[in-house]
Structure 1
Amino acid sequence: MSTTTHPILARQAPAHDNLLEVTGLHKHFPIRQGILFQRRIGAVRAVDGIDFSVGAGESLGLVGESGCGKSTTGRLITRLLEPTAGTITFDGEDITHTSVSGMRQARRNLQMIFQDPYSSLNPRHTVGTIIETPMKLNGVNPPQGLKRRAQELLETVGLNPEHYNRYPNEFSGGQRQRIGIARALALRPKLIVADEPVSALDVSIQAQVVNLLQDLQREFGIAFVFIAHDLAVVRHFSERVAVMYLGRIVEIADREALYALPRHPYTHALLSAVPEADPDLTGARERIRLAGDVPSPINPPSGCRFRTRCWKARDKCATEEPPLVRIPGNAEGHLTACHFPEEPTTAPRADVVLDPALAAMEETSTGTTGMPT
């Protein structure tokens, strides 16, 4: 493993060896003007300097509003996008600028599950071909043969091995996402980046797929970066949660600490919007409605980026960007970027069940043997 660790990363996951370390990661998409002679007139600052780590076998949830940079972060980690600046260290190796051949080796242990199960599978290939392709490209020859290995993976994700010769258009959305999961598992990776893996599915199917991922994590010891905007799903799946806003991480903590005591106003607002399972509690919790729209990532606000929508903003927030640090009252590993954090008395209840469907699935998990959907 890496011999030097960024001080923020060292405080984030003390119970795990860091499998993934991201330091000072930026991704700016240039804006150009002109037809024959183009010139750069600005940039979309999709990811603008983030630090986090993921331990071996750990699950980190990455949450935030649409457009905050979550999916871009996932594609940077897997090097589907080239970073503008920063460092990505995976399994002790710096992969920030690794060559194509070098990334082929890294991707044996670093896979991705895409958001849309309809567009992420090649409609001209059979399910067997889709699952076998990663193994063929990486020269993996299982003792039992590629076909048998693909069929075993279909069984693992709750599908029938006889589906091997079928095409993606013959399956439902939930089944297609299971096929995508089987493809990601083909090389037995150490880390999977799951980019909104259940957002396109019905709630009941979401719970089945999330439980499937949890079962696979426990069985194979896979680490996850779980990207989602649904805080109920993230609470169900992730051990730690990082909250993003306008390209920056504003809070990161263990799941229980974050949901019991959100210190950043933005995190507090997000949690206040999650529906209660008990209708009697709905009126007891204050709903925080954020004013205005999310600022443009082309020209983000100075200082704290959330200040234009924050009810606690003061002059200091406009001139000084708050660092992501452990503030008084936070548990170990709970980092918050706020000059005027929320007090414990304003935090939502820790014992609230956030989603009735997911709560029911916790009690009767279908796992890998559940009815395929």
Structure 2
Amino acid sequence: MSAEQTLSKSQGPATTPGQVLLEVDGLTKHFPVMGGFPFKRQVGAVQAVDNVSFTVSAGESLGLVGESGCGKSTTGRLVTRLYEPTAGSIRYNGLDISHAGRKELAPIRSEIQMIFQDPYSSLNPRHTVGTIITNPMEINGINPPGGRDARAKELLEIVGLNPEHFNRFPHEFSGGQRQRIGVARALSLNPKLIVADEPVSALDVSIQAQVVNLLQELQREMGIAFVFIAHDLSIVRHFSQRVAVMYLGKIVEIADRDSLYNRPRHPYTHALLSAAPDADPDNASQERIRLTGDVPSPLNPPSGCRFRTRCWKATEKCATEEPPLIQLSSSAPGHLTACHYPEDGITPAARKAAADALPEPRDAQD
């Protein structure tokens, strides 16, 4: 039984493939830092996310990658409105939800769901699996044909679990099974957009592949859009159609998957890709770019380009002028980079592929 057959249609406005579903413009989140005695006052702010912009179309998957603390998870929580943005706008299906209140968000809460990183803390240990999956339907007043319990059992079957697990508790499952329960809970409201925050980072490698393949199958059959947050560049490449690279609260490069992985233009992206292991032994000799220094504090980020304190190309211009996220003339359409001195972007693997595509040299006697 396919997911398309078992899941009813969403109650919200219809979307078509390619239609912009989520539009984020200038999104900013600063967390205040309080200090002082005896009266506390704000003495600073953690600039977790600063002027981030991107779009996600219906049925598309956008990957968000970057080092720990770069603002990926905060961006995901802003999109789902678990956090209130400091500035910027979030438009979902044409509706501005940036500062919408609880009543205004209620009609679309079911369409934007989240899969959390930790499968152990994201499930209530006092509730059975059935209660965990049916509660969202009860809260949103959804009464599927056959009843909520039947729907929950269908969802368990869709994510590869036994419907008989309906009355069991989370502690009775492995990490991979718990993450599948989290996926079933997210699907219970027929979402159009899922923010997956490190959905496989806590799982074994074999289980990671199962969960990622499950999400891909659900995306194909149900047309769900994803914001896929992860550290693992190979998983992001496998799952996402487009990829955005974040550094210290900002997007420094965004492009379609093949363009970004085959021709990275920002030095930070190039460094990330050079650090990723390559299964191809022909590419094993690729020189790794080792970044010096630590990631600066988001309490006091560097002026100009935030990556300049670790960049081997940095000049005075990088310290005084913040590079805009723009389309470079030599990049593929839609490949945006924020760098004054972009890389040529050609990786050793891309050079090898180009060389292999050249015709064999003809013998002199021919």
Q: TM-score, structure 2 length as denominator? A: 0.90
Match of 1:257 in 2: 259
Cα distance in 2 for partners of 1:41, 1:351 equals 50
How big is the shift at 1:280? 4.8
The corresponding residue for 1:291 is 292
Aligned to 1:9: none
Q: Could you tell me which amino acid in structure 1 is paired with residue 202 of structure 2?
A: A
In the alignment, structure 1 residue 349 sits paired with structure 2 residue 363 = no
Alpha-carbon distance between aligned partners in 2 of 1:28 and 1:122, rounded to the nearest angstrom: 30
Q: Deviations over 1:63-103 (max 9, x none)?
A: 00000000000000001011101100001111111111222
1:134-162 superposed Cα distances (whole Å, 9 cap, x missing partner)? 10000000111011000000000000000
Equivalents in 2 of 1:109, 1:344: separation in Å? 38
CA distance in 2, matches of 1:286, 1:167: 49
- 2:23 is paired with a residue of what secondary structure? strand
Please name the residue that 2:39 is paired with: 37
2:340 matches 1:339? yes
Q: Matched residues in 1 for 2:58 and 2:184: separation?
A: 20
- Summarize the Cα distance change of 1:170–1:287 in structure 2 as closer, same or farther, 3 Å threshold: same
2:328 matched residue in structure 1: 327
Task: Indicate if the aligned counterparts of 1:256 and 1:350 stay in contact, CA closer than 8 A.
Answer: no
Is the 8 Å Cα contact of residues 283 and 348 (structure 2) preserved in structure 1?
no
- How many residues align? The count is 336
Find the residue that maps to 2:349 and give its secondary structure.
coil
- Residue in 1 that maps onto 2:305: 304
Match of 1:7 in 2: none
Instruction: State how far apart, in whole Å, the 1-side matches of 2:34 and 2:348 are.
Output: 45
Distance 2:282 2:193 in 1: 41
Contact 1:272 1:287 in 2 (8 A): yes
Aligned-residue offset at 1:278 = 3.0
SS at match of 1:349: helix
Kindly, what percent of the aligned residue pairs are identical?
A: 73
Q: Aligned ranges for residues 139-288 of structure 1 at < 5 Å?
A: 139-282=141-284, 284-288=285-289
Q: CA deviation at 1:39?
A: 1.0
Paired residues of 1:259 and 1:350 also in contact (CA < 8 A): no
Structure 1 residues 188, 351: CA separation in 2 closer, same or farther (over 3 Å shift)? farther
Instruction: List runs of 5+ in structure 1 lacking aligned partners.
Output: 1-14, 353-373
1:348 & 1:45 partners in 2: Cα distance?
36
Question: How far is the alpha carbon of 1:210 from its aligned partner?
Answer: 0.4
SS of aligned partner of 2:134: helix
Distance 1:254 1:99, change over 3 A: same
Show the counterpart of 1:96.
98
Q: CA RMSD in A?
A: 1.3
Cα shift readout 1:166-201 (whole Å, capped 9, x = no counterpart): 000000000000000000000111000000000000
Which amino acid in 1 is paired with 2:246? M
Secondary structure of the residue aligned to 1:139 is coil
Cα deviation, 1:28-48, whole Å, max 9, x if unaligned, reads: 000110354111110000001
Opposite residue 18 of structure 2, the aligned amino acid is H
Task: Kindly provide the amino acid, as one letter, of the partner of residue 121 in structure 2.
Answer: S
What SS does the aligned partner of 1:142 have? coil
Per the TM alignment, residue 50 of structure 1 is displaced from its structure 2 partner at its CA by: 0.5
Which residue is 1:367 aligned to?
A: none
* Structure 1, 133-142 or 33-42: larger mean CA deviation: 33-42
Q: Deviations over 1:274-297 (max 9, x none)?
A: 111134531x20100000000000
Alignment partner, residue 314 of structure 2: 313
Q: Distance in 1 between matches of 2:108 and 2:244?
A: 24
> Which whole-Å CA distance do the structure 2 matches of 1:19 and 1:186 have between them?
20
Task: Answer yes or no: is the 8 Å Cα contact 1:238–1:255 preserved in 2.
Answer: yes
Please say if residues 237 and 257 of structure 2, whose CA atoms lie closer than 8 Å, have aligned partners that are also in contact. yes
1:63 matches 2:65: yes
How far apart are the structure 2 equivalents of 1:46 and 1:348?
34
Shift, 1:129, TM fit? 0.3
* Residues 235-274 of structure 1 deviation map (CA, whole Å, 9 limit, x = unaligned): 0100000000000000000000000000000000000001
Equivalent residue in structure 2 for 1:116, among 115, 118, 132? 118
> Once the 2 structures are TM-superposed, how far is the Cα of residue 203 of structure 1 from its aligned partner?
1.1
- Equivalence for 1:11: none
Which whole-Å CA distance do the structure 1 matches of 2:137 and 2:177 have between them?
21
- Secondary structure, counterpart of 2:326 in structure 1: coil
User: Post-superposition, which runs of at least 4 consecutive aligned residues in structure 1 deviate over 2 A?
Assistant: 278-281
Letter of the 1:152 counterpart: E
Instruction: Find the structure with the greater CA-based Rg.
Output: 2
Contact 1:56 1:190 in 2 (8 A): yes
Q: Which runs of 5+ in 2 are unaligned?
A: 1-16, 353-366
Amino acid of the residue matched to residue 300 of structure 2?
A: N
Q: Distance in 2 between matches of 1:299 and 1:258?
A: 29
